[in-house]
Structure 1
Amino acid sequence: MSQADESILKINIENYILEKYTPFKLRQPNFELIYYDEKEKVVEPISEHPLHGQQKCKQLTFPFARSGLFTADIRNIKTLVKKCEDQTVKEVFELTLNHNNKVDYQAGDTIAIVPKNSKLDVMQAIILMGLDENANKYCKFRPLSTTQNSKAKLPLHIPEDKTTPHEILTDCLNLRAVPTKQFLSVLASCCSFAEEANFLNCLSSKEGNHFYNELILEKGLNFLDILLLCTSCKPTLLMLIENLPRLFPRAYSISNSPNGHDNEIKIVFSVLQHTPGVATSMLKRLGAETREFPNEPKSVLMYFRNTNRFRYTPEVAHTSQQILIGIGTGLAPFIGFLEYKKQLYLENENEKKLGKTWLFVGAKRMESVIYRKKLKEYATENILDRYFESLSREKDAQYHYVQDQIKANVDEFVKFLLHRDTILYICADGAHISKSIKGAITECLTEKLGISKDEGTELIKDYEKHGKYVEDIWT
């Protein structure tokens, strides 16, 4: 049992039961699940890369896709940042993928990887739900004749036919999703222990908002955690299908140049120690298995995502100057920018007409700055014209946050930003960090231009509209 599982079991549900509360109103089911008779033969074609469950969903679309789905082999995995004992620094890995897709890409473009839930999570769900006997039986779905919703449709990410509970739990549903209040009330109806039912009903009630905020939103209890905590809860697969969200593809920035890599794509990802994401856990595991058995490389299902202004093209290199701001793994796409710039620089060594590039890096510690050695080399080779580094957990660091370093260099920064051909790129957390950086830049502009805060905000909006201020953010 993991440390996370142990901490969940320490929660005393008696402390989260109210004397009075109004239960959430349950919705009636719209479908029924039918298992194939053993006499009915369902034959799946033998394939080196069997179809992912979501590939069987004919009407399903994949977010921001500009290519079809294809399989890429994992060529290598490299540890960029090791986890530390005090858990202040996350593990960071570089994964190299080998593919045969002919889609062109530029530095800054993104791919999406279609994940699978881990075997452990799937097996845990099957056992806790009591699906052991039927997990691998072929099944299909059809609307209930008694349904009051004549327009009810099966979620598009669920195969309508020739699927199994195991496939649905592996490929289609996010078993680590944060449960809604509606779903908690459904789970309460599946409990045979009154105390557990009351606990879940309280979490889903209006009166129990503070309990929901504490356990679900702050502690991050997910669906599987609820099953571990409430052992008498036995939801049906149909309940999961109608309440759990789709297991969505995970986007990653390409961290290498498009030139000279022969169908090779590199991505960078970090892994949380106690609550790792579904996709990052999968990539770390598959990378480790490939490293252990290099002659039997593992593969992932992926696609190229639509392009936007966050990319480094030959035109951008020759006609603009750039301010790059990367926080943590947000530095990854800029490695591709700089690698490509160096290639263009060498190709045009006699002309040397490439625009100047400044890079601001934010990290917790010096050892958590990914590709730091390479960045220092770029600075000495004039690929990077200015290099700024902020380290939030280093006591002796001159600057702890990028915002502070921007303000400390306000005169030079604003002068460079105001240059007609300068483009500012930010890759950071959209929930807090990118907003804080934008606030600092706005403050610098208002100070040096002698304008109001509202005018500074409008100026940034104008920059965004015209592609002078470009963000790649995540939440």
Structure 2
Amino acid sequence: MLTMLTVFHEKCPMKIDPSNSPLSADQANGLNRLLETLAPHQFDWLAGFIAGHQAAQPGAPGTAAAQGAGDTGQEHPSLTVLYGSQTGNCEGLAEALGEQANAHGINARVLDMADYKPRQLKSESYVVVVTSTHGEGEPPDNALDLHEFIHGRKAPSLKHLQYGVLALGDTSYEHYCQTGKDFDAAFAKLGATALVERADCDVDYDDEAEAWCKTLIERLQNEAGASGMPTAGGVSAAPTTEAYTRRYPFMAEVLDNQWLNGRGSSKETRHIELSLEGSGLSYQPGDSLGLYPQNDPALVAAIIERLGLDADTPVTAGDIETTLAGALKHHREITLLTRPVVEKWAALSGSAQLTELTTDNAKLTEWLYGRDLLDLAEDAPVTGLDAQTLIETLRKLPPRLYSIASSQSAVDDEVHLTVAAVRYETEGRKREGVASSWLADRLADDTTVPAYIEANKHFRLPEDDAAPVIMIGPGTGIAPFRAFMQEREEREAEGANWLLFGDRNFHSDFLYQSEWLAWRRQGVVDRIDVAFSRDQGEKVYVQQRLRENAEDVWRWLERGAYLYVCGDADRMAPDVHRALLDVIIDAGGKNEEDATDYLRELTRQKRYQRDIY
């Protein structure tokens, strides 16, 4: 089937003839009509989907393709792909890698690290770890057990094991790809041999991850003698039923853009509604929407002027030919500096100050805060810099993810977001968040924005509609819980719902207040506890509300409540986690170690889930 599709695609308009194919006339004619409508990326997806479908059939040792020409009769090697994922990116890459491995004659299984028994490592021959990092270099929640085991005294010798590590991270953070580095070092220490060198991928990971996966599969084929026909398409995206993806976003129309805060608020939070009509995209409560933003045209112009360049100079940004102004507005990161960019700029400018900064992580992190490309150009001028070199020095402008604030069961072909506009001042100049200010200031109704769905299987409502739910979401962290309640209302779920929400001031910052109070009156929400930090002399936060209501929180947990946390990863999430430990110690009568184990067990049971950023 894949060979037939490939020939059809390359030599179109050739038709499938029912008389010399195993298809009925109706099947052949239907397939002909479908293939005539496919764009190249949709065709690639279809080819990969068929390969994955073949590999998943009961009793299939690999794929139908892998059993065809070129099969040497050798036993197909087995590969275990383990993913640690907080938002879903690593899960998507792991699933795509598994699909492609199967298509190449490798028996691959893809597992969530939380569902994998660490002691099985003793019986593995080939293992790949695909993992992200969050917080201060910490593993994702679902990777905690495996990460702890492999660094502990009970970890076995792995001299028999060959492995690979694909790490996702963000070079703007100090502990870039730290979890991947941890796994790599631990495997090596236990005697395992790397099939390929670890790849540390920045937020724009698609091309590098795809190349790494291709190399891994080739190396594994050489090591184990696997054979098989490669599929069309790459290893850059998870199998999906949608035509629109991270690489091929849908142009979603803006339906509404409202200011959520009341008069006198010190914050600016927007409720944004987008149309998905005609996209075929679907989502579940807990998923995120990815948006490709635009940089501020005024900042773009200031940078070009400072560097003495021409805005209309032709440049190439990856595989896109555009002007310098177009590249800086749409395709390159200019508001956030990273270590690689500073290192390149230090070489271009010959700046001793920048060179010295790159040798001290703490000083570099402090210096980078709030600075953008214009600051860099002013602090370390580059003589004779040309437009193309500038573009090649900068990293791609990555998409921004926002927790979806709606249930598709309630809003049909719409998707809602809750976005806080980021505005501040440093170094004597006003600054703005790239995506948030773009959404707040430069999006009018009927404008379209490039968007895609980022599934998050690690932030899901319980399947049991009778299960109680505790939702902790200060600020814009309330977004997914609005989606949760819309969904539970539509499903007429019987489970109790408890919201803990915090922000600055009650009268101006209780986001979606009328909706939450209506749900409370109707009995959809059983309890609401709030913490408004600036309504009194001493600041109060949601973690204090947890401690104040420790007995009730403990009772809810003991009767099977699911616990959800959404919001800031740097301060709020660790503070809430500490408060939960205190609740379990004080109300549950446990010591620190047992309380930690209790929360870890909730994570294993998927009853403690976090969407933190």
User: Is the TM-score greater than 0.5?
Assistant: yes
Residue 449 of structure 2 corresponds to 300
1:252 aligns with 2:402: yes
SS in 2 for 1:104: coil
Partner Cα separation in structure 1 for residue 320 and residue 514 of structure 2: 53
Corresponding residue to 1:80 among 255, 260, 271: 260
Partner Cα separation in structure 2 for residue 408 and residue 204 of structure 1: 45
Query: What is the Cα deviation at residue 205 of structure 1?
Result: 5.0
Count of aligned positions: 371
Residue 588 of structure 2 corresponds to 449
Partner Cα separation in structure 2 for residue 104 and residue 183 of structure 1: 37
Q: Is the 8 A contact 1:177 1:244 kept in 2?
A: no
Corresponding residue to 1:336 among 460, 468, 483: 483
1:166 aligns with 2:312: no
1:385 aligns with 2:531: no
The amino acid across from 1:74 in the alignment is V
Corresponding residue to 2:280 among 102, 106, 127: 102
Query: What is the Cα deviation at residue 235 of structure 1?
Result: 3.8
The amino acid across from 1:173 in the alignment is R
Aligned counterparts, 1:386-465, within 5 A:
386-395=527-536, 400-420=540-560, 422-465=561-604
Give the direction of change, closer, same or farther, for the CA distance of 1:121–1:263 in structure 2 (3 Å limit).
Answer: same
**Deviation digits for residues 349-378 of structure 1 (CA, Å, limit 9, x no counterpart):** xxxx61011111111211212011221221
Corresponding residue to 2:373 among 216, 223, 235: 223
Residue 276 of structure 1 corresponds to 432
Give the direction of change, closer, same or farther, for the CA distance of 1:330–1:321 in structure 2 (3 Å limit).
Answer: same
Partner Cα separation in structure 1 for residue 281 and residue 460 of structure 2: 15
Aligned counterparts, 1:261-272, within 5 A:
261-272=411-422
Give the direction of change, closer, same or farther, for the CA distance of 1:230–1:90 in structure 2 (3 Å limit).
Answer: farther
The amino acid across from 1:308 in the alignment is K
Aligned counterparts, 1:6-405, within 5 A:
66=240, 67=242, 68=244, 69-81=249-261, 89-100=266-277, 101-132=279-310, 135-140=311-316, 158-160=317-319, 162-180=321-339, 183-184=341-342, 186-188=344-346, 190-191=348-349, 197-206=351-360, 212-217=364-369, 220-230=370-380, 235-274=385-424, 275-287=431-443, 289-290=444-445, 297-312=446-461, 315-316=463-464, 318-345=465-492, 354-366=494-506, 367-395=508-536, 400-405=540-545
Partner Cα separation in structure 2 for residue 360 and residue 423 of structure 1: 14
Give the direction of change, closer, same or farther, for the CA distance of 1:161–1:113 in structure 2 (3 Å limit).
Answer: closer
Indicate the RMSD between aligned Cα atoms, in angstroms. Answer: 3.0
**Deviation digits for residues 150-203 of structure 1 (CA, Å, limit 9, x no counterpart):** xxxxxxxx42363443332222211012242x5435434555xx9xx4544444
**Deviation digits for residues 397-450 of structure 1 (CA, Å, limit 9, x no counterpart):** 8x8121111111111110111113x11111121112111111111111122332
Partner Cα separation in structure 1 for residue 344 and residue 456 of structure 2: 41
SS in 2 for 1:383: coil
Partner Cα separation in structure 1 for residue 338 and residue 321 of structure 2: 28
Greater relative contact order structure (CA < 8 Å, 6+ sep):
1
Q: Is the 8 A contact 2:337 2:373 kept in 1?
A: yes
User: How high is the TM-score relative to the length of structure 1?
Assistant: 0.70
Q: Is the 8 A contact 1:187 1:233 kept in 2?
A: no
Q: Is the 8 A contact 2:315 2:327 kept in 1?
A: no
Partner Cα separation in structure 2 for residue 90 and residue 253 of structure 1: 19
SS in 2 for 1:323: strand
Q: Is the 8 A contact 1:363 1:392 kept in 2?
A: yes
Give the direction of change, closer, same or farther, for the CA distance of 1:440–1:381 in structure 2 (3 Å limit).
Answer: same
Q: In percent, how many aligned pairs have the same letter?
A: 23
Partner Cα separation in structure 2 for residue 299 and residue 65 of structure 1: 26
Q: Is the 8 A contact 2:469 2:495 kept in 1?
A: yes
The amino acid across from 1:336 in the alignment is A
Query: What is the Cα deviation at residue 78 of structure 1?
Result: 0.3
The amino acid across from 2:261 in the alignment is V
Query: What is the Cα deviation at residue 211 of structure 1?
Result: 5.3
Q: Is the 8 A contact 1:57 1:159 kept in 2?
A: no
Please, which runs of 5 or more residues in structure 2 have no aligned partner?
A: 1-203, 211-233, 425-430
Question: Which range is displaced more, 357-366 or 239-248?
Answer: 239-248
Runs of 4+ in structure 1 displaced over 6 angstroms? Answer: 56-65
